[in-house]
Amino acid sequence: MTDSPSSQSADLARRTSEAYDAALEVIAAVEPRVAEATRAELADQRASLKLIASENYASPAVLLTMGTWFSDKYAEGTIGHRFYAGCQNVDTVEALAAEHARELFGAEYAYAQPHSGIDANLVAFWSILAHRVESPALEKHAVKNVNELTEADWEELRHDLGNQRMLGMSLDAGGHLTHGFRPNISGKMFHQRSYGTDPETGLLDYDRVREAAREFRPLILVAGYSAYPRRIDFAKMREIADEVDATLMVDMAHFAGLVAGKVFTGNEDPVPHAHVVTTTTHKSLRGPRGGLVLATEEFAPSVDRGCPMVLGGPLSHVMAAKAVALAEARQQSFRDYAQRIADNAKSLADGFLSRGAKLVTGGTDNHIVLLDVTSFGLTGRQAESALLDAGVVTNRNSVPSDPNGAWYTSGIRFGTPALTTRGFGHDEFDRVAELVVDVLSSTTPKTTSAGAPSKATYTLEDGVVERTRAASAELLDKHPLYPGLELT
């Protein structure tokens, strides 16, 4: 007789607990403070309402995969073509990660080596430059690689590589630092210009994007976001790119789980429309920290040169964990999860709106809810800190045409992936909205020595921290993190 599903689940939880207990015991024998901090991190995550849109909870299988001897192996190069011997097992896990990514997203090609989202974007940028600028230059001079160019030819190519144009979403409209902003290397690599959103609605205006593209004539048109609470029509973005002979690159790091889970389909799925797509593997995809690049076959040879073009040795243990996470994402249970992420974001947004809060774009249809906290008389920094005092973990974020700039900001970004993983649903997210509004309504800016409202400091009404933490604990206790995982 086989064990019942419940007994199998209990047995797996017991063995998982034993695995982590043993691992922490081994760690503590060398540096007990690290083991102590690891235990404390689990306790903190279990006791907090995690609403950061870029965070999630990876499965024990994914987490355990990262703690293996794959970490000890150098593997520069590509599958079957390494610069180090003995990489046959790395070839296996990298090939599995790429296979799962291709099948999951319907991509022609997948590259699993990027260490992070920024690395994935760097690989994409340089791959596009190599394909669009370097390859024609080599053909022009009848050589196979840049080492065969004369010094004068190389100087000409260097100039061309460093003087291309990129058009991406502005930071205050919801774009990302890696989409051409000067503090990031992308802003130093490219002559960059941004497109924004409609000043009245906060929504993406495709006609304005088209006008900007026609005027600027970028080599790369970047679509995607980190804080835009709506979906994008990628078919329209491809039309705009084709009209100006630009390469369409989509950064789907935030919403990759919704693409994988088939919540975004048709024109809202970037993979059939973009030349190159980048993503992280954590966030809504619920895997290990790392990145992926998806591309059409046309760009595959350039992307495959990511190492050594901009990457060092791939993190083989993380690529193995990517393979596990992507295998999880191919299951029906992940599709159900992805739909709950979007449903819960709608519940959270409705909860805010019903209590008089102001949302950028007036709502959401992805996993992000962007709250404008100026109606509470606060900056984003004050709101973020006050919520953290009460055990609600968020991050401050710019809003369109933000009067407080990118440091203090005027918004708070909420995301539903993490608490959805814990099992929160409509009622819980409505309660979360109630708690957030209560905290922000109970927060008052302090005044500076000059008598003006402070942008950073604040006071909280007596009792709000205690009642919020108590209410949060009640919600969290009903949906334990890693149920059955008990450390001794």
Question: Catalytic residue among 39, 55, 73, 76, which?
Answer: 76
The string of DSSP codes covering 354-366 is HTT-EEGGGS-SS
How many whole angstroms separate alpha carbon 159 and alpha carbon 137? Answer: 12
Burial string for 75-108 (b: 16+ CB within 10 Å, else e) reads: bbbbbeebeeeebeebbebbebbbebbbebbebe
The one-letter amino acid at 366: N
**Catalytic residue (choose from 73, 193, 289, 355):** 289
| Phi, psi (rounded to 5 degrees) for 251 | -100, 105
DSSP 8-class letter at 132: I
CA–CA dist 232, 255 (Å, integer): 11
Supply φ then ψ for residue 68, to 5 degrees: -130, 175
**289 assigned to active site:** yes
Catalytic residue among 82, 132, 283, 455: 283
What is the identity of the amino acid at 304? D
- The residues, any chain, with a CB within 8 Å of residue 54's CB and separated by 6 or more, are 226, 253, 254, 280, 282, 283, 415
The dihedral sign for the CA sequence 351, 356, 359, 361 = positive
Vertex 377: Cα angle to 372 and 382 (nearest 5) = 80
What is the C-alpha to C-alpha distance for residues 245 and 429, in angstroms, rounded to an integer?
Answer: 44
> Of 39, 74, 346, 374, which is the active-site residue?
74
Q: Clarify whether 74 is annotated catalytic.
A: yes
Q: 138, 320 in Cβ contact below 8 A?
A: no
Q: What distance in Å separates the CA atoms of residue 436 and residue 91, rounded to the nearest whole number?
A: 47
Query: E-assigned strands of 298-442?
Result: 358-359, 368-372, 392-393, 395-397, 411-415
User: Cα-flanking dihedrals φ and ψ of residue 358, to 5°?
Assistant: -105, 125
Q: Which of 16, 197, 280, 364 is catalytic?
A: 280
Active site residue 99: no
- Respond yes or no: is residue 458 known to be catalytic: no
Q: Which residue has the tokens 């409705």?
A: 350
Marked catalytic residue, from 251, 304, 350, 428: 251
234-243 and 206-216 are packed helices; what angle lies between their axes, rounded to 10 degrees? Answer: 20
Measured CA to CA, the distance from residue 443 to residue 458 in angstroms comes to: 7
Give catalytic residue positions.
74, 76, 251, 280, 283, 289
